[in-house]
Chains A and B, each alone.
Chain A
Amino acid sequence: MDNNVILEFKNVTKKFPGITALDNITFSIRRGEIHGICGENGAGKSTLMKILAGVYPSGTYEGQVLYNGQELKLVDRSIHQAVEEGIATVFQELTLVPSITVGENIYLGKEPVKVGIINWEKLYADSKQVLEKYHLDVSERSIVHHLGVGKMQMTEIAKALSEDAKVLILDEPTSALAEAEIEQLMDILRGLKKHGVTCIYISHKLDEFFKITDSITVLRDGKMIITEPTKNLTVEILVKNMVGREIKERFPKGNRKPGEVILEVEDLHALDPRDPSTELLKGVSFDLRRGEILGIAGLMGSGRTELVMTLFGEFGKITQGKIKLEGREITIHNSRQAMSYGISLVPEDRKMHGLVLIQSILRNISLANLNRFSTWFRIDDIAELKESTDYAKSLNIKASNLQAMAESLSGGNQQKVVIAKWLMSQPKILIMDDPTRGIDVGTKYEIYKIMNDLSEKGIAIIMISSDLEEVLGMSDRIMVMCENHSVSTLATAKATQEKIMALATGTVSQPVLER
């Protein structure tokens, strides 16, 4: 046995009724390395990780998984056994209890007890030790819901490591993080490597693989396509192997011709409705033209989402400043009103804010548009089905039929359902908050093409993104936000990643607006 190998998959096949999720997977992961796994949605990454976590226990799949040379035999469906074996997972959706402290979360379910009573001193001391050992910069006594996403994730990592994990699985850890936080995470992972922890790293952001991984395995349609040391690979090779064809450019070229100004925002200030003592927006100004894509860049917590939610009438209480639509000053109190002005919002978190997961695709698409099909006492369900089908087709939503539940779709298709819903409302202004978060390369490309089509038809698009390449690749102009105000608006031609980062982190100030 090769002592350098910690995990080995041998001919692993996992079938679900009607589909082979994993097809004869064979590859190995070396001890102490950071091993990237990439593939489009539905390629089998999650299924593979669920086998490691014990969600699909031994016997429900064919083939073998060797862990330290021994066959991994997980029997119960809970993740506890895997954790005891030293395999811990940081899930894509954070699984913390928000109302209690970081320390309590780290030791949730395994609190140190003395005669049945929790030993709080030990709990916090141990938490502190874990946090310090791995350089996780978060206080063990903070209440979780006060933390930002980045710190929550650190807590999640600490929770995984507190059991002395040998293998740490990170499932799209950066999908909710801003650039600076990603850097921090990368440092943490490098630190873990020094402590001898093996990491399995799943992501849709290909550049991250080259920053951090030692080797990469690509899955496609349940098959292992390649497994190579990172130094032998390039982004192009990865993409080609992931999609099975060559994608020439990541961003499709549009033929956009921005027209006259449709929306002007002048010095907007707004308060947090839940906590009126904090100012969420401290002076935001920009304008938006017909048929253009305006990118909004900024770190997580810079007020990007708060800004668009306020424009949609569903968040901040405006205290100062003006919003002008087609030259006329307007006030927006709720989403109904925003929609009546022709403003639509594809929200950041599609599962929480975009979709009713337990309802069909059809009902999700038509939800915001029922007025079009209905009188006071009747919905024309056939017209509804017809129009929804048209939108679903034009966006290429992949599903057996529109009666399928939204929760059964892959992330990319879910996002397309949300977009279909808002396109049906025929907006003049479409706001998209991180529209390609957690979506595979192929579907991203499709969404970019949809955005180009829309803007060519004269719709003005505001796109928030954490991915700077995306902002640069798709926008006509870029507004940068920093600490809850707008710093600058740049023409994309004059912008670079460095320039945007400098503005977003406040290391240079450039309060001038380039119009």
Chain B
Amino acid sequence: MTTTTVPSSKKETSKFGQQLRTNFQTYALVVAMIIIWIFFFIQTDGIYLSPQNFSNLFRQMTITGILSVGLVMVIVAGHIDLSVGKLAGFVSVVVAYLQAYTWNQYLPDASPLLTTALSVLIGLIVGTLYGVIQGWVIAYLNVPSFITTLGSMWILNGLILIRTAGKTIAANQPMFSVIAQGYLPPTTGWIIAIGVSIVLFISMFTGRRRKVKYGFTLPPLYQDILKTVILSALVFGYVYYVNEYSGVQNPVLILIIIAVIMSYVANNTKFGRYTYAIGGNREASRLSGINIRGNTFTIFIVMGFLCGVSGVVMASYVGYGTIAAGQGYELFAIAACILGGTSTLGGVGTVFGAMIGAMIMASLTNGLQIMNVPSAWQYVLSGLVLVIAVFLDRVMKRNR
């Protein structure tokens, strides 16, 4: 790829200006999301942002959201995974099958807690194992990820058909349903909010202390405090608003935990850094002593695990396993990553961006549903939004 013409290296920009510029796309996305929200808010006479729908909106993005968290790393590394939707679907079918048939037969006296735990565990193992196989083929047998995962998509589709035998399998046991349909009691929500802001403040202060230790000048204290206060306020605001309905949604909590962990992994571990480096320049990474195969292998294992999580949530959310489970989810997840600023060329992308991307996709679908737009037109509009958003982003980048 040719680099865009950078006029000169000596261009002095203030640190703030530079930060704003690098985060520009993220801010633009947040603004776009708010515009979408306002639009639907007006169009639906306020129903759209009522506590109930607000709560649903976030719940609806969880299944593809979890997939996009993993996909960001896959795409950043310069790969693609077309099998994520079907793998999550397959896991959901396996889990539903276990819930509907296996436990009754082999563990008739087991408590619902035990069977649910076993279902979840096996679901996660199935996803991870598939990731191991797929990662091994891509990393060590050098089959391009596009081909491998395209093949997987069909294989998994076949496996879903075999397992379901064309029928719908119920997975609506109360204990199991709690995973994706349950809510935290309001008090627990508040406790979590308090815990999160305490952690935010502590990490801000330890960060400052470490900087001092290495002799760096600190940004003004009020700036850091303001940042932390705003973040905490967002957390409290969210908890307050969903408590107005039923409380913090379990699947959203799962998604947030996963996103936070992966965001940390992406920036603060060798694995994450290497992933960005490999996607940015594979040869330079190899010559810097990075184990490219091992890293690639790990990425697909993580992706498989997240498909497992997504599949469990899916089974619990919809309450059954069907032949269409996960159909097309990979495309939603890819779209979320791209909307969130992930480069298809590799090396660039953030988990946070992908979350906002997933949020935008979910906001659109949800709003159009409330407005009773036929699903055919929902597809047309979603497609247009994706292409236009990426086009606008290109235009803005060029003019910067």
Residues of A within 8 A of B (CB): 16-19, 21, 42, 47, 50, 55, 312, 314, 334-336, 338-339, 345, 347, 352-359, 363, 367-368, 370-371, 374, 376-379, 381-383, 385-386, 398-401, 403-404, 407-410, 413, 421
Asked if B108 CB lies within 8 Å of chain A CBs, one says no
Instruction: Looking at the assembled complex, report how far the CB atom of A386 sits from the nearest CB atom of chain B, in whole angstroms.
Output: 4
Is A358 touching B347 in the complex (CB atoms < 8 A)?
Answer: yes
Contact status of A413 and B9, CB under 8 A, knowing A314-B287, A386-B214, A403-B18? yes
Is B210 touching A382 in the complex (CB atoms < 8 A)?
Answer: yes
Across-interface contacts of B214 in A (CB, < 8 A): 382-383, 385-386
Is B348 touching A358 in the complex (CB atoms < 8 A)?
Answer: yes
Instruction: Looking at the assembled complex, report how far the CB atom of A289 sits from the nearest CB atom of chain B, in whole angstroms.
Output: 25
Is B11 touching A374 in the complex (CB atoms < 8 A)?
Answer: no
Asked if B372 CB lies within 8 Å of chain A CBs, one says no
Can you list 22 A-B pairs with a CB-CB distance of less than 8 A?
Answer: A16-B7, A19-B8, A19-B10, A19-B11, A19-B12, A335-B289, A345-B287, A352-B283, A357-B281, A359-B347, A363-B277, A367-B284, A367-B285, A371-B270, A376-B269, A379-B270, A386-B215, A400-B13, A404-B18, A407-B6, A410-B9, A413-B9
Across-interface contacts of B10 in A (CB, < 8 A): 18-19, 42, 398
Q: How far is the CA of A153 from the CA of B273 in the complex (A)?
A: 37
Q: How far is the CA of A398 from the CA of B12 in the complex (A)?
A: 11
- Additional A-B contact list (6), CB under 8 Å, known A18-B12, A367-B277, A408-B9: A339-B289, A367-B288, A376-B269, A377-B269, A379-B269, A386-B214
3 smallest beta-carbon distances between A and B, as pairs: A16-B7, A356-B280, A368-B288
Contact status of A368 and B269, CB under 8 A, knowing A356-B281, A382-B214, A399-B9? no
Instruction: Looking at the assembled complex, report how far the CB atom of B222 sits from the nearest CB atom of chain A, in whole angstroms.
Output: 21
Is B273 touching A379 in the complex (CB atoms < 8 A)?
Answer: yes
B400's nearest neighbour on chain A, judged by CB, is A17
Is B216 touching A17 in the complex (CB atoms < 8 A)?
Answer: no
Q: How far is the CA of A431 from the CA of B12 in the complex (A)?
A: 34
Asked if B397 CB lies within 8 Å of chain A CBs, one says no
- Residues of B in contact (CB 8 Å), total 40
Is B11 touching A382 in the complex (CB atoms < 8 A)?
Answer: no
Across-interface contacts of B3 in A (CB, < 8 A): 357, 407
Instruction: Looking at the assembled complex, report how far the CB atom of A25 sits from the nearest CB atom of chain B, in whole angstroms.
Output: 16
Asked if B375 CB lies within 8 Å of chain A CBs, one says no
Across-interface contacts of A347 in B (CB, < 8 A): 287
Q: How far is the CA of A381 from the CA of B268 in the complex (A)?
A: 7
Q: How far is the CA of A358 from the CA of B5 in the complex (A)?
A: 13
Across-interface contacts of A404 in B (CB, < 8 A): 9, 18
Residue in contact with A42 in the complex, picked from B9, B12, B18, B283, CB distance below 8 Å = B9
Across-interface contacts of B281 in A (CB, < 8 A): 352, 355-358
Across-interface contacts of A376 in B (CB, < 8 A): 269-270
Q: How far is the CA of A357 from the CA of B6 in the complex (A)?
A: 12
Q: How far is the CA of A55 from the CA of B15 in the complex (A)?
A: 29
Q: How far is the CA of A209 from the CA of B289 in the complex (A)?
A: 40
Q: How far is the CA of A374 from the CA of B285 in the complex (A)?
A: 18
Is B9 touching A356 in the complex (CB atoms < 8 A)?
Answer: no
Asked if B167 CB lies within 8 Å of chain A CBs, one says no
A350's nearest neighbour on chain B, judged by CB, is B284
Residues of B within 8 A of A (CB): 3, 5-13, 15, 18, 22, 207, 210-211, 213-216, 268-270, 273-274, 276-277, 280-281, 283-291, 347-348
A346's nearest neighbour on chain B, judged by CB, is B287
Contact status of A335 and B268, CB under 8 A, knowing A356-B281, A382-B214, A407-B3? no
Is A363 touching B273 in the complex (CB atoms < 8 A)?
Answer: yes
Across-interface contacts of A408 in B (CB, < 8 A): 6, 9, 11
Across-interface contacts of B291 in A (CB, < 8 A): 336
A356's nearest neighbour on chain B, judged by CB, is B280
Instruction: Looking at the assembled complex, report how far the CB atom of A397 sits from the nearest CB atom of chain B, in whole angstroms.
Output: 10
Residue in contact with A379 in the complex, picked from B211, B268, B280, B285, CB distance below 8 Å = B268
Residue in contact with B283 in the complex, picked from A338, A353, A379, CB distance below 8 Å = A353
Is B6 touching A47 in the complex (CB atoms < 8 A)?
Answer: no
A335's nearest neighbour on chain B, judged by CB, is B289
Across-interface contacts of B269 in A (CB, < 8 A): 374, 376-379
Is B286 touching A356 in the complex (CB atoms < 8 A)?
Answer: no
Is B273 touching A367 in the complex (CB atoms < 8 A)?
Answer: yes
Is B5 touching A55 in the complex (CB atoms < 8 A)?
Answer: yes
Instruction: Looking at the assembled complex, report how far the CB atom of B269 sits from the nearest CB atom of chain A, in whole angstroms.
Output: 6
Instruction: Looking at the assembled complex, report how far the CB atom of B232 sits from the nearest CB atom of chain A, in whole angstroms.
Output: 23
Across-interface contacts of A409 in B (CB, < 8 A): 9
Is A314 touching B284 in the complex (CB atoms < 8 A)?
Answer: no
Residue in contact with A314 in the complex, picked from B6, B11, B274, B286, CB distance below 8 Å = B286
Across-interface contacts of B286 in A (CB, < 8 A): 314, 335
Is A353 touching B7 in the complex (CB atoms < 8 A)?
Answer: no
